């Protein structure tokens, strides 16, 4: 299938964006871009290290620069970091360069997936001073309206396999 515009995947940490992107890319015959990886390549250090040395706002600057860079590439599948939709300039970039699909899950499912995921330590520094589950619940409350506003489709991933989610996305594409 030829993409005529970028296909962005958004959603909170642990909703399956990167895993879904890998499988979906195979089915579409495109190379998936993971925005977190682009940030780390451009910075030369892990996301956790960027947060530790320079703070979240410096990370958000790097994330916006990375998004602006990949948005200029030919149409492809782009998996966004969970907070990339927080800045208006990023939402505008997404809206003007592609379509966006929101992967959602409940807080307990997200907490369990983050615990199991070995990239969590390097890629997912704490975003608040709250305990893990409370942080997820708080940020989901804050961000769900923004994910909704930024995306054209919402896909529930709780109790859904990666294959099921990929099939649902494929069914949405023209
Ligand atoms: C973040 C999510 C992470 C990464 C960074 C910040 C967030 O990406 O960009 O740790 O603010 O939710 P994933 O959603 O790929 O884990």
Q: Which of the 8 DSSP states describes residue 102? A: E
Which pLDDT score, from 0 to 100, does residue 1 have? 72
Domain count, the chain: 1
168, part of any domain:
no
> Residue 170: inside a domain, yes or no?
no
Which mutation among 8, 17, 36, 67 tests ligand 1's pocket best, with the greatest number of atoms within 8 A of CB?
Answer: 36
Asked if residue 155 is part of any domain, the answer here is yes
pLDDT in tens, the chain (174 residues): 789 999 999 999 999 999 999 999 999 999 999 999 999 999 999 999 999 999 999 999 999 999 999 999 999 999 999 999 999 999 999 999 999 999 999 999 999 999 999 999 899 999 999 999 999 999 999 999 999 999 999 999 999 999 999 999 999 987
In a domain, 70, yes or no: yes
How many alpha carbons fall within 13 Å on the CB side of residue 81? 26
What local confidence, expressed as pLDDT, does residue 2 receive? 80
| 140 CB within 6 A, ligand 1 | no
Q: Is residue 78 part of a domain?
A: yes
- Tell me whether residue 169 is in a domain: no
Domain containing residue 153: CATH number? 3.40.50.300
Answer left, alpha or beta for residue 21, where phi above 0 means left and psi between -120 and 50 means alpha.
alpha
Report the nearest atom of ligand 1 relative to the CA of 120: 16
- Please report the sign of the dihedral spanned by the C-alpha atoms of residue 130, residue 132, residue 133, residue 135: positive
For ligand 1, atom 11, name the residue with the nearest CA.
83
Residue-number span of the structural domain to which 106 is assigned: 6-163
């Amino acid at each position: 299938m030829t993409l005529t515009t970028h296909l962005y995947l958004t959603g909170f940490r642990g909703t399956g964006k990167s895993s879904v992107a890998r499988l979906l890319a195979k089915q579409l015959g495109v190379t998936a871009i993971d925005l977190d990886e682009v940030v780390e390549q451009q910075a030369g250090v892990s996301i956790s290290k960027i947060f530790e040395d320079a703070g979240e706002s410096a990370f958000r600057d790097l994330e916006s620069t990375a998004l602006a860079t990949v948005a200029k590439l030919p149409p492809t599948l782009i998996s966004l970091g969970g907070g990339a939709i927080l800045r208006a300039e990023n939402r505008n970039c997404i809206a003007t360069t592609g379509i966006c699909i929101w992967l959602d899950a409940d807080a307990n499912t997200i907490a369990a997936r983050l615990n199991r995921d070995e990239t969590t330590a390097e890629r997912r520094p704490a975003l608040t001073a709250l305990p893990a589950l409370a942080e997820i619940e708080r940020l989901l409350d804050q961000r769900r309206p923004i994910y909704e506003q930024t995306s054209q489709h919402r896909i529930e991933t709780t109790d859904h396999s990666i294959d099921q989610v990929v099939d649902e996305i494929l069914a949405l594409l023209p």
